[in-house]
Protein backbone atom coordinates (compact mmCIF):
# COMPACT_ATOMS: atom_id res chain seq x y z
CA UNK A 1 0.00 0.00 0.00
CA UNK A 2 1.44 3.36 -1.01
CA UNK A 3 2.08 6.01 1.59
CA UNK A 4 0.23 9.32 1.70
CA UNK A 5 3.40 11.05 2.90
CA UNK A 6 6.76 10.23 4.40
CA UNK A 7 5.38 9.76 7.91
CA UNK A 8 2.14 7.86 7.40
CA UNK A 9 0.71 4.97 5.46
CA UNK A 10 -2.70 4.37 4.03
CA UNK A 11 -4.53 2.22 6.56
CA UNK A 12 -7.11 -0.21 5.18
CA UNK A 13 -10.00 -1.18 7.45
CA UNK A 14 -12.60 -3.80 6.52
CA UNK A 15 -15.99 -3.48 8.19
CA UNK A 16 -17.26 -7.01 8.33
CA UNK A 17 -19.99 -9.13 9.86
CA UNK A 18 -21.55 -12.14 8.16
CA UNK A 19 -24.92 -11.21 9.65
CA UNK A 20 -27.04 -8.63 7.87
CA UNK A 21 -28.85 -5.73 9.51
CA UNK A 22 -26.19 -4.99 12.12
CA UNK A 23 -25.43 -1.42 11.05
CA UNK A 24 -22.33 -2.28 9.03
CA UNK A 25 -23.04 0.01 6.09
CA UNK A 26 -24.32 2.79 8.36
CA UNK A 27 -21.09 2.57 10.33
CA UNK A 28 -18.94 2.48 7.18
CA UNK A 29 -20.58 5.50 5.59
CA UNK A 30 -20.77 7.67 8.70
CA UNK A 31 -17.39 6.78 10.18
CA UNK A 32 -15.79 7.65 6.85
CA UNK A 33 -17.65 10.96 6.88
CA UNK A 34 -16.58 11.76 10.43
CA UNK A 35 -12.94 10.95 9.66
CA UNK A 36 -12.99 13.20 6.61
CA UNK A 37 -14.44 16.05 8.67
CA UNK A 38 -11.44 15.69 10.98
CA UNK A 39 -9.07 16.44 8.12
CA UNK A 40 -8.37 12.92 6.93
CA UNK A 41 -8.62 11.87 3.29
CA UNK A 42 -10.90 8.84 3.17
CA UNK A 43 -11.87 6.41 0.42
CA UNK A 44 -14.88 4.16 0.99
CA UNK A 45 -15.09 1.06 -1.20
CA UNK A 46 -18.49 -0.56 -1.54
CA UNK A 47 -17.79 -4.30 -1.71
CA UNK A 48 -21.43 -5.33 -1.29
CA UNK A 49 -23.48 -6.20 -4.41
CA UNK A 50 -26.50 -4.64 -2.69
CA UNK A 51 -24.75 -1.28 -3.06
CA UNK A 52 -26.25 0.24 0.08
CA UNK A 53 -23.18 2.36 0.85
CA UNK A 54 -23.33 3.74 -2.68
CA UNK A 55 -27.01 4.62 -2.35
CA UNK A 56 -26.48 6.09 1.13
CA UNK A 57 -24.16 8.71 -0.35
CA UNK A 58 -26.71 9.81 -2.94
CA UNK A 59 -25.31 7.86 -5.88
CA UNK A 60 -27.77 5.96 -8.07
CA UNK A 61 -26.23 2.48 -8.28
CA UNK A 62 -28.33 1.72 -11.36
CA UNK A 63 -26.51 4.51 -13.23
CA UNK A 64 -23.02 3.45 -12.14
CA UNK A 65 -21.11 2.26 -15.21
CA UNK A 66 -17.72 1.53 -13.64
CA UNK A 67 -17.58 0.15 -10.12
CA UNK A 68 -15.89 -2.18 -7.68
CA UNK A 69 -16.69 -5.00 -10.10
CA UNK A 70 -14.69 -3.49 -12.96
CA UNK A 71 -11.78 -2.84 -10.60
CA UNK A 72 -11.76 -6.42 -9.26
CA UNK A 73 -11.99 -7.93 -12.73
CA UNK A 74 -9.22 -5.69 -14.08
CA UNK A 75 -11.46 -3.97 -16.61
CA UNK A 76 -10.66 -0.52 -15.20
CA UNK A 77 -7.76 0.74 -13.11
CA UNK A 78 -8.75 1.94 -9.63
CA UNK A 79 -8.13 5.60 -10.43
CA UNK A 80 -10.89 5.49 -13.05
CA UNK A 81 -13.42 4.01 -10.62
CA UNK A 82 -13.17 6.61 -7.84
CA UNK A 83 -16.18 8.91 -7.53
CA UNK A 84 -16.35 12.15 -5.57
CA UNK A 85 -19.13 12.28 -3.00
CA UNK A 86 -19.33 16.08 -2.94
CA UNK A 87 -17.76 16.09 0.51
CA UNK A 88 -14.23 17.36 1.10
CA UNK A 89 -11.76 14.52 1.51
CA UNK A 90 -14.38 11.79 1.10
CA UNK A 91 -14.47 9.65 -2.06
CA UNK A 92 -16.08 6.32 -2.92
CA UNK A 93 -15.63 3.40 -5.27
CA UNK A 94 -19.28 2.44 -5.75
CA UNK A 95 -20.88 -0.93 -6.24
CA UNK A 96 -23.13 -1.90 -9.11
CA UNK A 97 -25.37 -4.87 -9.71
CA UNK A 98 -22.54 -6.47 -11.70
CA UNK A 99 -20.66 -7.10 -8.47
CA UNK A 100 -22.92 -10.07 -7.71
CA UNK A 101 -21.34 -11.85 -10.68
CA UNK A 102 -17.83 -11.34 -9.33
CA UNK A 103 -18.37 -14.00 -6.69
CA UNK A 104 -18.77 -16.55 -9.48
CA UNK A 105 -16.32 -15.11 -12.00
CA UNK A 106 -13.48 -14.83 -9.49
CA UNK A 107 -13.69 -18.52 -8.59
CA UNK A 108 -11.42 -19.70 -11.40
CA UNK A 109 -9.08 -16.70 -11.47
CA UNK A 110 -5.51 -17.09 -10.22
CA UNK A 111 -4.82 -15.36 -6.88
CA UNK A 112 -8.54 -14.73 -6.57
CA UNK A 113 -8.26 -13.78 -2.87
CA UNK A 114 -5.80 -10.99 -3.67
CA UNK A 115 -7.60 -9.10 -6.43
CA UNK A 116 -8.65 -6.26 -4.15
CA UNK A 117 -5.30 -6.05 -2.37
CA UNK A 118 -3.49 -5.80 -5.69
CA UNK A 119 -5.87 -3.10 -6.91
CA UNK A 120 -5.37 -1.06 -3.73
CA UNK A 121 -1.63 -1.01 -4.39
CA UNK A 122 -2.42 1.38 -7.25
CA UNK A 123 -4.29 3.85 -5.04
CA UNK A 124 -2.50 6.66 -3.23
CA UNK A 125 -3.33 9.91 -1.47
CA UNK A 126 -5.65 8.60 1.25
CA UNK A 127 -5.12 8.27 4.98
CA UNK A 128 -7.87 5.66 5.34
CA UNK A 129 -9.54 3.19 3.01
CA UNK A 130 -12.72 1.65 4.47
CA UNK A 131 -14.15 -1.52 2.92
CA UNK A 132 -17.89 -2.10 3.37
CA UNK A 133 -18.20 -5.88 3.14
CA UNK A 134 -21.28 -7.90 2.17
CA UNK A 135 -23.19 -9.78 4.90
CA UNK A 136 -21.47 -13.09 4.18
CA UNK A 137 -18.10 -14.76 4.51
CA UNK A 138 -17.74 -15.39 0.78
CA UNK A 139 -15.10 -14.44 -1.75
CA UNK A 140 -15.79 -10.69 -1.68
CA UNK A 141 -15.36 -10.54 2.10
CA UNK A 142 -12.28 -12.74 1.80
CA UNK A 143 -10.79 -10.26 -0.66
CA UNK A 144 -11.44 -7.46 1.80
CA UNK A 145 -9.82 -9.37 4.67
CA UNK A 146 -6.76 -10.10 2.53
CA UNK A 147 -6.47 -6.41 1.62
CA UNK A 148 -7.03 -4.97 5.10
CA UNK A 149 -4.74 -4.11 7.98
CA UNK A 150 -7.64 -4.15 10.43
CA UNK A 151 -11.18 -5.48 10.79
CA UNK A 152 -13.83 -3.35 12.46
CA UNK A 153 -16.84 -5.42 13.55
CA UNK A 154 -20.25 -3.73 13.93
CA UNK A 155 -22.38 -5.87 16.23
CA UNK A 156 -26.07 -5.44 16.94
CA UNK A 157 -27.20 -5.54 20.55
CA UNK A 158 -29.38 -8.62 20.21
CA UNK A 159 -29.64 -12.24 21.27
CA UNK A 160 -27.09 -14.61 19.69
CA UNK A 161 -24.82 -11.70 18.73
CA UNK A 162 -21.88 -13.27 20.51
CA UNK A 163 -22.36 -16.54 18.63
CA UNK A 164 -21.93 -14.75 15.32
CA UNK A 165 -18.92 -12.89 16.68
CA UNK A 166 -17.19 -16.13 17.59
CA UNK A 167 -17.74 -17.45 14.06
CA UNK A 168 -16.39 -14.25 12.49
CA UNK A 169 -13.34 -14.26 14.76
CA UNK A 170 -12.63 -17.83 13.65
CA UNK A 171 -12.68 -16.72 10.02
CA UNK A 172 -10.41 -13.75 10.75
CA UNK A 173 -7.97 -16.04 12.58
CA UNK A 174 -7.85 -18.43 9.63
CA UNK A 175 -7.24 -15.59 7.17
CA UNK A 176 -4.45 -14.25 9.37
CA UNK A 177 -2.87 -17.69 9.77
CA UNK A 178 -2.98 -18.69 6.11
CA UNK A 179 -3.31 -15.57 3.93
CA UNK A 180 -2.78 -12.19 5.60
CA UNK A 181 -0.55 -12.27 8.69
CA UNK A 182 -0.79 -8.47 9.01
CA UNK A 183 -4.54 -8.63 9.73
CA UNK A 184 -5.80 -7.79 13.21
CA UNK A 185 -9.10 -6.84 14.83
CA UNK A 186 -9.49 -3.09 15.33
CA UNK A 187 -12.44 -3.55 17.63
CA UNK A 188 -16.14 -4.23 18.02
CA UNK A 189 -18.71 -1.44 17.66
CA UNK A 190 -21.99 -2.10 19.41
CA UNK A 191 -24.91 -0.80 17.33
CA UNK A 192 -28.66 -0.37 17.81
CA UNK A 193 -28.14 -0.01 21.54
CA UNK A 194 -31.21 0.65 23.67
CA UNK A 195 -30.23 1.48 27.24
CA UNK A 196 -33.82 0.96 28.38
CA UNK A 197 -33.65 -2.78 27.79
CA UNK A 198 -31.81 -5.35 29.84
CA UNK A 199 -30.97 -7.27 26.66
CA UNK A 200 -28.83 -4.49 25.18
CA UNK A 201 -26.92 -4.08 28.41
CA UNK A 202 -26.40 -7.83 28.75
CA UNK A 203 -25.10 -8.18 25.20
CA UNK A 204 -22.62 -5.34 25.70
CA UNK A 205 -21.36 -6.96 28.90
CA UNK A 206 -21.01 -10.35 27.21
CA UNK A 207 -18.96 -8.86 24.37
CA UNK A 208 -16.89 -6.85 26.84
CA UNK A 209 -16.02 -10.06 28.69
CA UNK A 210 -15.14 -11.83 25.44
CA UNK A 211 -13.22 -8.89 23.92
CA UNK A 212 -12.20 -6.75 26.92
CA UNK A 213 -9.55 -4.76 25.07
CA UNK A 214 -11.33 -4.47 21.74
CA UNK A 215 -14.88 -3.29 22.35
CA UNK A 216 -15.31 0.43 21.74
CA UNK A 217 -16.70 2.44 24.64
CA UNK A 218 -18.94 4.40 22.24
CA UNK A 219 -22.34 2.76 21.84
CA UNK A 220 -24.41 3.57 18.74
CA UNK A 221 -28.02 4.04 19.87
CA UNK A 222 -31.06 2.81 18.00
CA UNK A 223 -32.66 5.67 16.06
CA UNK A 224 -35.18 6.02 13.26
CA UNK A 225 -32.94 8.74 11.77
CA UNK A 226 -30.39 6.04 10.92
CA UNK A 227 -32.77 4.53 8.38
CA UNK A 228 -34.10 7.89 7.15
CA UNK A 229 -30.82 9.61 6.27
CA UNK A 230 -29.78 7.24 3.41
CA UNK A 231 -33.07 7.85 1.60
CA UNK A 232 -31.94 11.48 1.23
CA UNK A 233 -28.37 10.53 0.31
CA UNK A 234 -27.12 12.18 3.47
CA UNK A 235 -24.84 11.32 6.36
CA UNK A 236 -26.40 11.36 9.81
CA UNK A 237 -24.57 14.53 10.79
CA UNK A 238 -25.94 16.22 7.66
CA UNK A 239 -29.50 14.97 8.05
CA UNK A 240 -29.88 15.57 11.79
CA UNK A 241 -26.65 16.67 13.51
CA UNK A 242 -28.34 16.83 16.92
CA UNK A 243 -29.50 13.23 16.75
CA UNK A 244 -27.96 10.92 19.35
CA UNK A 245 -26.78 8.42 16.74
CA UNK A 246 -25.15 11.17 14.68
CA UNK A 247 -23.32 12.43 17.73
CA UNK A 248 -22.33 8.88 18.67
CA UNK A 249 -20.61 8.39 15.33
CA UNK A 250 -18.65 11.57 16.00
CA UNK A 251 -17.54 10.13 19.34
CA UNK A 252 -16.72 6.82 17.66
CA UNK A 253 -14.47 8.60 15.16
CA UNK A 254 -12.63 10.33 18.01
CA UNK A 255 -12.19 7.06 19.87
CA UNK A 256 -11.13 5.32 16.63
CA UNK A 257 -8.41 7.90 15.99
CA UNK A 258 -7.21 7.77 19.60
CA UNK A 259 -6.92 3.99 19.33
CA UNK A 260 -4.74 4.26 16.22
Beta bridge partners of residue 236, listed in sequence order = none
For residue 3, name the pLDDT band (cuts at 50, 70, 90): very low
Tell me the average pLDDT across 20-48: 97
| 219-237 pLDDT tens trace | 999 999 999 999 999 999 9
pTM for this one? 0.94
Please give the mean pLDDT across all residues of the chain.
Answer: 92
Angle at CA 13, nearest 5°, toward 8 and 14?
Answer: 165
Tell me the average pLDDT across 237-250: 97
Does residue 4 have a pLDDT over 70? no
Does domain 3-259 fall under CATH 2.40.70.10? My reply is: no
For residue 5, name the pLDDT band (cuts at 50, 70, 90): very low
| 159-187 pLDDT tens trace | 888 888 888 999 999 999 999 999 999 99
The residue that leads in pLDDT, 110 or 250, is 250
**DSSP 8-state secondary structure symbol assigned to residue 91:** E
Residue 28 CA to residue 19 CA, distance in Å, equals 15
Amino acid sequence: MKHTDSDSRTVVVALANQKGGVGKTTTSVNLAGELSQRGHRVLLIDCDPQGNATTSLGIDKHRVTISTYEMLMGVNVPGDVIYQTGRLGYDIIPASENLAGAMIELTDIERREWRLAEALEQIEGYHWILLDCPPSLGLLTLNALCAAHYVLIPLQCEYLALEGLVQLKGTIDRVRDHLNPALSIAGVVMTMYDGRTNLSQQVVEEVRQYFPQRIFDTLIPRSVRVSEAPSYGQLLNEYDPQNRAAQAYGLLADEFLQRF
